[in-house]
Amino acid sequence: MSDLFVPAGIVRPAPAFRRHIVVAEGQLLCRGASFLHADLPLADKDLSASHFLGELEGETCGVHLISRQWDIAGYEWRGLRSLLGEVDEHLFSLAGRAMQVVNWDCDHRFCGRCGSATEYHERDRARVCSRCQLAVYPRISPCVIMLVTRGEECLLARHAHHRHGLHTALAGFIEPGETAEQALVREVREEVGLEVGACRYMGSQSWPFPGQLMLGYLAEWAGGDLAPDLEEIAEAHWYHFSDLPAIPPAQTLSGQLIRTFASENNNRQ
């Protein structure tokens, strides 16, 4: 996340917020593309919960959960994904952080082990079972996202369950007991039937749909013919770096991997 935002990992103490984010029914209260508000457009009595997120350029930020989407003059409710590409990357990360904190709070009001009510931890961002003391922190799911390359070509796929027509890098969840590199090899083999060799780690990105941490790689093709599984991957093709189809925006790690590959090849010309 940008140095403009300094995150906080605690629930309490929560200072008086200077910037406010409001969430209801999985959406953000916005003015156009702006989800950060200098003043809270609701009364305190309407709030179900509030959480301190950190500081943005020295100003404290908090997210507020309300029970339903009220009609508020001059505002509209928007899904997080609709802001992708409309706001700066550091602001999108902040919105994603707010949504993940709210989701954690809503999903763990009761203990998954014994069913008793949970309460906030005194210091940590966690909910603790009042009966068996199970502590539940916000869940982060690690994933790998990899651009398979073959000389001046890269492999791009269109995912079967995505509504858009973008072609993107392959991705998948890391299974228990796997390293990121093992998951990369397995996912490429399962999704498109290829083997990969040398892998180069490029960076990571929080991906709040709903709570992934994406680990990005460039992976060199080592053998095999393309055989998309057709369940997750509708189609996959090799593309020359100078002739790419519609790809994800630069705010996404997939878009960054593809652009890095194209830029490195272009610089060799």
Task: Annotate 108-151 with DSSP letters as a single string.
Answer: TSB-TTT--BEEE-SSSS-EEETTT--EEPPP-EEEEEEEEEET
Report pLDDT for 9.
66
Q: Judge whether residue 3 has pLDDT over 80.
A: no
| Whether the Cβ atoms of residue 142 and residue 213 lie closer than 8 Å to each other | yes
Give domain 141-268's CATH number out of 3.90.79.10, 3.10.310.30, 3.40.605.10, 3.30.1360.10.
3.90.79.10
Q: Judge whether residue 2 has pLDDT over 80.
A: no
- Confidence grade of residue 122 (pLDDT, cut at 50, 70, 90): confident
* 5-107, CATH topology level: Nucleoside Triphosphate Pyrophosphohydrolase (3.90.79)
> What's the rounded mean pLDDT across residues 190-210?
96
Q: CA separation (Å) from 67 to 27, 63, 87, 163?
A: 12, 13, 26, 29
Mean pLDDT estimate for the chain: 93
What's at 6, amino acid-wise?
Answer: V
Report pLDDT for 85.
85
CA max distance for the chain: 65
Question: Can you say how many angstroms the Cα of residue 181 is from the centroid of all Cα atoms in its chain?
Answer: 20
Report pLDDT for 41.
85
> What's the rounded mean pLDDT across residues 125-145?
96
Q: CA separation (Å) from 219 to 177, 184, 207, 233?
A: 21, 9, 21, 18
Q: CA separation (Å) from 26 to 64, 71, 96?
A: 12, 15, 11
Per-residue pLDDT tens digits for 144-177: 999 999 999 999 999 988 767 799 999 999 999 9
Residues spanned by CATH 3.90.79.10 within the chain?
A: 141-268
Report pLDDT for 161.
80
Percent of the chain whose pLDDT exceeds 90: 82
85 or 69, which is more confident? 69
> Alpha-carbon distance 148 to 225, whole Å?
13
Per-residue pLDDT tens digits for 225-260: 999 999 999 999 999 999 999 999 999 999 999 999
| Whether the Cβ atoms of residue 70 and residue 23 lie closer than 8 Å to each other | no
Q: CA separation (Å) from 86 to 26, 33, 211?
A: 19, 7, 21
Q: Judge whether residue 182 has pLDDT over 60.
A: yes
Report pLDDT for 142.
98
- Confidence grade of residue 11 (pLDDT, cut at 50, 70, 90): low
Length of the chain measured in residues: 269
Q: Residue 54 is inside which H or E element, if any?
A: strand 47-56
Report pLDDT for 14.
52
Per-residue pLDDT tens digits for 217-227: 999 999 999 99
> Alpha-carbon distance 193 to 195, whole Å?
7
Report pLDDT for 264.
97
Percent of the chain whose pLDDT exceeds 70: 96
* Closest by Cα among 263, 261, 248, 243 to 150: 261
Q: Judge whether residue 15 has pLDDT over 80.
A: no
Residues spanned by CATH 3.90.79.20 within the chain?
A: 5-107
